[in-house]
Amino acid sequence: MEKVFEIYIRTTPERLWEAITDGETRSKYQFGARIESDWKPGSRYEMSNPSGTLLGEGENLEVDPPRRLVQTMLALWGDDVKSEGTSRITWEIEPVGDSCRLLVTHDHLADGANPQLYGGWPMILSGLKTWIETGEVLTTPGSLMYG
């Protein structure tokens, strides 16, 4: 199964790339979760909540700043999602005038995959857009629950 999300953000590719790969910035729009990695092809990344609990992990398959990031992802926030196994997330950034088109493809999901794996993307990407364009944190059900 594959889920595709597209959004336009008024920013530069470099600033968008930084918002995706910087742990502190990422926590502003991804329910408080930080991401840590050296951002090299083949390297590992970890995503954790503010208390340090590991929420997800994976491998950076392709790292082409500021255009493309491809990662595997194993969700670890619950046994129900951990049992789903590894999926893949592809971030593609394309400049469009004074903005960027961000295409996020979450694939290698099992048919009928647990919606927790992909259901948060609209909130995450809306939060990313708000953060970059205004510098403010967007209040979403996810941020209230996990932030």
3-class secondary-structure state, position 105: strand
pLDDT tens for 34-72 read: 999 999 999 999 999 988 999 999 999 999 999 999 999
Nearest to 67 by CA among 90, 98, 37: 90
Q: Has residue 9 been placed in a domain? A: yes
How does residue 126 score in pLDDT terms, banded at 50, 70 and 90? very high
Q: Has residue 146 been placed in a domain? A: no
pLDDT tens for 62-105 read: 999 999 999 999 999 999 999 999 999 999 999 999 999 999 99
Q: Has residue 141 been placed in a domain? A: no
CA atoms within 13 A on the CB side of 3: 19
Q: How far apart are CA 126 and CA 34, in angstroms?
A: 17
Residue 144's pLDDT is: 60
What is the amino acid identity at position 24?
E
Q: Has residue 61 been placed in a domain? A: yes
Q: Outline where DSSP puts E strands in 65-98.
A: 68-75, 86-96
Average pLDDT over residues 120-130: 95
Number of domains forming the structure of the chain: 1
Q: Has residue 111 been placed in a domain? A: yes
Q: Rg of the chain's alpha carbons, rounded to an integer?
A: 14
Q: Residue 66: give the domain boundaries.
A: 3-134
pLDDT tens for 16-35 read: 999 999 999 999 999 889 99
Distance of CA 30 to the CA centre of its chain: 7
85 sits in the region (left: phi over 0; alpha: psi -120 to 50; else beta) called left
Q: Has residue 112 been placed in a domain? A: yes
Q: Has residue 65 been placed in a domain? A: yes
CATH code, domain carrying 68: 3.30.530.20
**How many beta carbons lie within 10 A of that of residue 67, not counting itself?**
14
